[in-house]
Amino acid sequence: MQLDPVETLAQLVAIPSVNPMGRSVCGPPFFEERLTEHLERVFRRLGLAVERQQVAPGRENLIARLEGDVPPERGGRLILLDAHQDTVPVEGMTVEPFSPAIRDGRLYGRGACDAKGGMAAMLAAVALLADQRPPGMPTVLLSCTVNEEYGFSGAAALTRLWTGRSSGIVPRRPDVAVVAEPTGLEVVVAHKGVVRWKCHTTGRAVHSAEPQSGENAIYRMAHVLVAIDRHAREGIGGMASHPLCGPATLSVGTVHGGLSVNTVPDRCTIEIDRRLPPGEQPEEARRRLIDYLAGAVEPGSPPQHDPPFMEGLALSDEANRPLAERLSAVVREVVGGCRQVGVPYATNAAFFAAAGVPSVVFGPGRLEQAHTQDEWLPLSQLQQAAEVYYRFLRISG
């Protein structure tokens, strides 16, 4: 049974799998359960062994296994392909998010670029291998992970199948991993990590007719924001920079405070985004800013910091060069050229690398089209990515 990557992508986009991104929401568009059910049916039609791994209620990684010539239990190669099931929310989109439309060589819809395009290409490649069974083929694991967009909990859970409890599907640590993300058909060998958390200031609420009787939490947060800006420009700016990924960065993305204009606010909250070059750990970066703020704002009212709500590891290029060279050679055969690059965003690949699996990131589409109001994927890249995955797996036995 073969799968057309364009038709497969349209089916994936039509099934909502929106990540709530920390919001208390529910309903048919949210979470990955419906997509997981669809993918399991596809894998079973292909004759693959399938296993579910619960990550959270209603959120399960799905792992399929295509047997190679020599099982990994007897020394054969074991290759992991990974694509995440979830997408970002759809508010503000100018195209129908779940009604995939093809125009001018592009497929439009939420997740088309990030990362259902890569998933569709992987599915098409695995289906062709399952149909042909070429000699020397490795055993292939295709993992469809959950919650990549807001926490990487699916990737972290998947690694436990070879670092802790093994399973019939994953008998040991994979030899290498390729993670689907929109890389423009370039091979990503390094990327930044990220740590995000909430920071609060408190005050005392009073009527705004007598503001001098209270303590304005927003004013206190203003001092914190000035200090964060100063640290971003003068503190982390002097840290070491990775040659492919660039320097560490620091950003405040949201500010929330106050109940009404006639009440002095007693609480203000910001969300902080800190990006980490390879070699820096999330808690190390977070602690550096917390310690800086403790000495940079007025005594007696230090800000309060929640535990991180998101931690993504950085991917180093120190252990994945042989894998990157093999994949790049295939890309050049199909596309005509290939660069090995670093990127400023985080992916599942860093979790696999931290668990001992040399990993790279590769897929159709570009970051500029991901998460946008009219998200789309060029179908030419989708077809090329499917061919790259197929050829790479054939030579990896």
Which long-range contacts does 287-290 make (Cβ < 8 Å, 24+ apart)?
288/235, 288/236, 289/228, 289/231, 289/250
In the predicted model, what is the mean pLDDT of residues 45-73? 96
pLDDT of residue 237: 65
Average pLDDT over residues 86-109: 98
Sorting pLDDT into bands at 50, 70 and 90, what band is 20? very high
At 83, is the secondary structure helix, strand, or coil? strand
Rounded to an integer, the average pLDDT of 229-237 is 87
At a CB cut-off of 8 Å and minimum separation 6, what does 22 contact?
A: 150, 309
**Sign of the dihedral through C-alpha 224, 230, 234, 237:** positive
Question: If pLDDT is split at 50, 70 and 90, which confidence band does 395 have?
Answer: confident
- Tens digits of per-residue pLDDT, 142-155? 999 999 999 999 99
- Report whether pLDDT(313) > 90: yes
CA-CA distance, 189 to 342, in Å (whole number)?
Answer: 6
CA distances for 49 relative to 34, 180, 248, angstroms:
19, 21, 42
Domains of the chain, first to last: 5-191+315-394 (3.40.630.10), 193-312 (3.30.70.360)
- The answer to whether the CB of 320 falls within 8 A of the CB of 162 is no
Are 78 and 174 a contacting pair, CB within 8 Å?
A: yes
Secondary structure (3-state) at 80: strand
Which tens digits make up the pLDDT trace of 129-146?
Answer: 999 999 999 999 999 999
Check residue 93 and give its pLDDT: 97
Please tell me the total number of residues recorded for the chain in this structure.
397
Residue 314, number of CB atoms within 10 A of its CB: 25
pLDDT tens for residues 190-228? 999 999 999 999 999 999 999 999 999 999 999 999 999
pLDDT average, residue stretch 37-65: 97
The long-range contacts involving 252-256, CB below 8 angstroms and separated by at least 24 positions, are 252/225, 252/228, 255/221, 255/225
Pairwise CA distance, residues 110 & 117, whole Å: 11
Q: Are strands 139-145 and 59-66 parallel, antiparallel or unpaired?
A: antiparallel
Output the pTM of the full model: 0.94
Q: How large is the average pLDDT for residues 158-170?
A: 87
| Position 255, amino acid | V
Q: Report the SS3 class of residue 282.
A: helix
